[in-house]
Amino acid sequence: MAFFNLIHTDPQSAARAGVVHTDHGDILTPIFMPVGTVGTVKGVHKRDLIDDIHAQIILGNTYHLYLRPGTNILHQAGGLHRFEGWTKPILTDSGGYQVFSLTQIRKMIEEGVRFSSHIDGRKLLFTPESVMDIERQIGADIMMAFDECCPGTADRTYATESMNRTHRWLDRCIARFDSTDDVYDYHQHLFPIVQGCVYPDLRQEAAKRLRDLDRDGYAIGGLAVGEPAEKMYEMIEVVNDILPENKPRYLMGVGTPWNILEGIERGVDMFDCVMPTRNGRNGMIFTRNGVMNMRNKKWESDFTPLDPEGTSYVDAQYTRAYVRHLIHSDEMLGLEILSIHNLAFYLWLVGEARQHILMGDFRSWKEDTLRRVMTRL
């Protein structure tokens, strides 16, 4: 069976509906993947992720899991799936973004990146080979190659150097991945990452080079890191015009509901972002009718359901006034309620997008939905 089946492409855009097949189950695309950085989606039980939010795949992060609990514990547990009690697919980021965000405590060399642990100050080295070994031990179904995440404001000279370094590291990642076996009783897949900052010719060069490698899927990295949204959308179009149609495309770290809709329209299949949980913990929720800040006084005596059109049990069970009270009281339950709501909304959004792609009216549905979800309530 092929790793990815493209089911239908929207006749008026590049939006696609497909299926990714893994040994832990199928993933219907387009899909949003909740971020479980350290082996947990913050404040959300696995039961809620499966039964209420309807998550099909979640993320783990190589950098954080390497530091805690460490690969020895994960291997003893039988991999991250068994360690955290998750039976569906998992994708791991390589940790490159986290390492490169440690600008004051890391040093980049051709071998890899030397950095200090943000936990205890230990001096550590990530190389393409060591990251592949760590991701093998973690045991995610989909592994990311180790790359340099170039800032969106980088000049052309640095962006070129960064892309070329990413490609040299990718060759080493592939050599290590292809020469090692799956650690557990299921198959793992490696995605290369297209970099190139905001320069169309660099993105084209990277996309062509990675396309010719013929891997199972491809990620688009280095976006939503400071560049204007219009530039991000342009780079997605440039890259997706080159990447093969029969492989899944993953836009890393993006984003708002409107970013996701724009990405789907341009042919992206997979998304992840901390926004639904992080914004939820800060009192902000997304709904099909707009964005709500639950800290605002306007909700103080609003005893209507949190979101009458929401798909989660929290939307009907709790009132806006009660949730506002929890947020202002710094009660943990308030953060959990809003995180669950936002994740359920994101999964609803990509599920609806998929249905409208299959029905052939994605473009008109997207324009109407975009107008509503961007409203400030």
Where in the sequence numbering do the catalytic residues fall? 93, 272
Rounded distance between C-alpha atoms, residue 196 and residue 300, angstroms = 47
CB 204 within 8 Å of CB 213: no
202 contacts: CB under 8 Å, gap ≥ 6: 156, 159, 160, 163, 195, 196
